[in-house]
Amino acid sequence: MKYIKTTILLLLFAPLMVFAQDEVEVVEVIKENNSKEYLPKAGDISIGADALPYLEFLGNAFNGNTNNSLNLGETTLYFKYFLTDNTAVRAIIGIDNGTNNSREYVADDLLRLDPFNPNAKAEDLKLEKYRDVYLKVGYQIYKTRNRLAGYYGAQIGYGYGNSFSEYTYANPISAMNQIPTSHNFGGNINGASRVLEAKDVASNTISAGLFIGVEYFFMPKMSIGGEYGLDFQYEWSGQSNAVSESWNGSEVVNTNSLVLPTQSGSSFSTSRPATYGGLFLSFYF
């Protein structure tokens, strides 16, 4: 009798067990299909940028910070082209060009001779221009699970940077004022000589390395990710020179002088390509 009851129960519940198993399989298929809508495919192009400035801006907006601004600073851009659903070639570009003006008050040597204007001021000016650019190209392989995608790959890169400074002084050098009052912008005054132009060391960097990272697709074809790299870098720089002016006893003369000779060096280090801590946002098309 017990055997007959057990057999009857198995016959009754067997269809339910098969249905439940089929339902689980259907749910898994639906999840897999939905995740595929989120993930990039062969032929897709990706554009990305540093994520942290945007995350900080959104966080301050929600916590009631009244002094909130989007600080982009030096932004790193990411580009990818998918050769297959799981492989891509990529490029990382960083550009930081700018100009800084520094103004400082100095005594006006001519006007302060007036007894009614002993505290007369004038302005010295420093104009600084700088440029830093780098490019890395690489190949990466994806391993995906639902909307989470891990990846790894290799890349090579090149970077270049230089700066140029120009100085303008309110008090000119003359026979009557051979050592005029001038602001010493970071050591540009040396006795009776002062710098007019300074071309700083131009640096070059080549690199090769490996990287590993992860992306989470929080919306279809939109992801947030992070990455670490291991790079070998070799850097070299040309000589720097400066143009100075001084009084030679009869007139003002300009002198071109060398400041630093050629430099070189190498390093082996880990890196995060994003400027703001290694996080990036990517959009796929």
Q: Which residues of 160-187 are buried (b: 16+ CB within 10 A; e: fewer)?
A: ebbbebebebbbebeeeeeebebbebee
CATH architecture of 39-284: Beta Barrel (2.40)
Q: What pLDDT does residue 256 have?
A: 92
% of the chain exceeding 90 in pLDDT: 50
Whether the per-residue pLDDT at 217 is higher than 90: the answer is: yes
Indicate the pLDDT class of residue 30, thresholds 50, 70 and 90.
Answer: very low
- Three-state SS string over the chain comes to CHHHHHHHHHHHHHHHHHHHHHHHHHHHHHHHHHHHHHCCCCCCEEEEEECHHHHHHHHHHHCCCCCCCCCCCCCEEEEEEECCCCEEEEEEEEEEEEEEEEEEEEECCCHHHCCCCCCCEEEEEEEEEEEEEEEEEEEEEEEEECCEEEEEEEEEEEEEEEEEEEEECCCCCCCCCCCCCCCCCCCCEECCEEEEEEECCCEEEEEEEEEEEEEEEEECCEEEEEEEEEEEEEEEECCEEEEEEEECCCCEEEEEEEEECCEEEEEEEEECCCCCCCEEEEEEC
Q: What is the pLDDT of residues 241-268, one digit of tens each?
A: 899 999 999 999 999 988 877 888 888 7
- Quick check: pTM over 0.75? no
For the chain, domain boundaries: 1-38, 39-284
pLDDT level of residue 69 (50, 70, 90 thresholds): low
Q: Please tell me the predicted confidence (pLDDT) of residue 34.
A: 55
Given a cut of 60, is residue 89 above it in pLDDT? yes
